[in-house]
Amino acid sequence: MDNDTQGHLIWNYYKGLLNFKVVERSDGYVNVDAGAKSYFSDYNDWAKHEKEAIGYAKGRFLDIGCGAGRVGLHLQKRGFGGLSIDTSPLAIKVCRLRGVKNARLMGIEDIPKLGKGSFDSIIMFGNNFGLLGGFNKAKTLLKEMYRITSDKGTIIAETRDPYITDNLVHFVYHKANANKGRMPGQLRIRIRFMQYCTDWYDYLYVSRNEMKQILKGTGWKAVRFINDPRYWANGEYIAIIRKDTNAVK
């Protein structure tokens, strides 16, 4: 629990306490984030691109990195069943308290444990495409996602184009990553909240073209990209990804 930084952030907000978190990057760059408010947002308060993208969800869903359960609660209201997963014990506790019917303590690395064809839709909101970590890891996990989804499986994945920025510090970081054989937008970060701090981990931002390169050979194909002008200034977009019947996994 001492390492459950995101969980404490979510738990604090659930109890009505305002909060914020600090995102620290491996080069020393820090960013102060608004905290857990967005994790609790109702559908009416979602960004335009999220509202549009969630309309592509069908059947049984897997919500990866569910946070406080906003996606699961919305899809339950639409009559869908599914599974919401997160690595945070406190986040899962909050999900259950808020009424998420099936919330499980589980990370993205654990999806190989799930049964073949178990889901129709995989949701990765909140820039959670980033949880794929890096180029090779992403390909491995995407092949597992192919296995655990039905023939008409869909991934709805939010990420950020790292090149849409006017901050020169980020471009220096991109270059340093490339020199190390990493993807330019492959961040090495940790999260701080109050006295809590996560371990360092990789978090991946990709452009649309980079996403297409990652998807090659995994059995998936991006069929649409959705963005909201209010968030595109930060490079945020959502990809609708479907099984490519012509691809060789």
12-53 tens-digit pLDDT: 999 999 788 999 999 999 999 878 999 999 999 999 999 999
Measured in whole angstroms, the distance separating CA 184 from the mean position of its chain's CA atoms is 18
CA distance 162 to 81: 34
Beta bridge partners of 18: none
pLDDT digits (tens, 9 = 90+) for 95-135: 999 999 999 999 999 999 999 999 999 999 999 999 999 99
Average pLDDT, the chain: 95
Contact 188, 133 (CB under 8 A): no
Task: Characterise 146 by phi-psi region: left (phi > 0), alpha (psi -120 to 50), beta (else).
Answer: alpha
Tell me how far CA of residue 24 lies from CA of 5, 28, 57, 188, 238, in angstroms.
Answer: 13, 6, 33, 9, 24
The angle that helices 208-215 and 135-148 make with each other, rounded to 10 degrees, is 60
Which pair of tokens denotes residue 73?
């609660």
pTM exceeds 0.85: yes
pLDDT one-digit tens code per residue, 125-165: 999 999 999 999 999 999 999 999 999 999 999 999 999 99
For position 18, what pLDDT does the model report? 74
**What is the residue extent of each domain of the chain?**
5-243
Q: Six-digit token pair at 119?
A: 């889901």
CATH topology of domain 5-243: Rossmann fold (3.40.50)
* 102 φ, ψ (degrees, to nearest 5): -140, 90
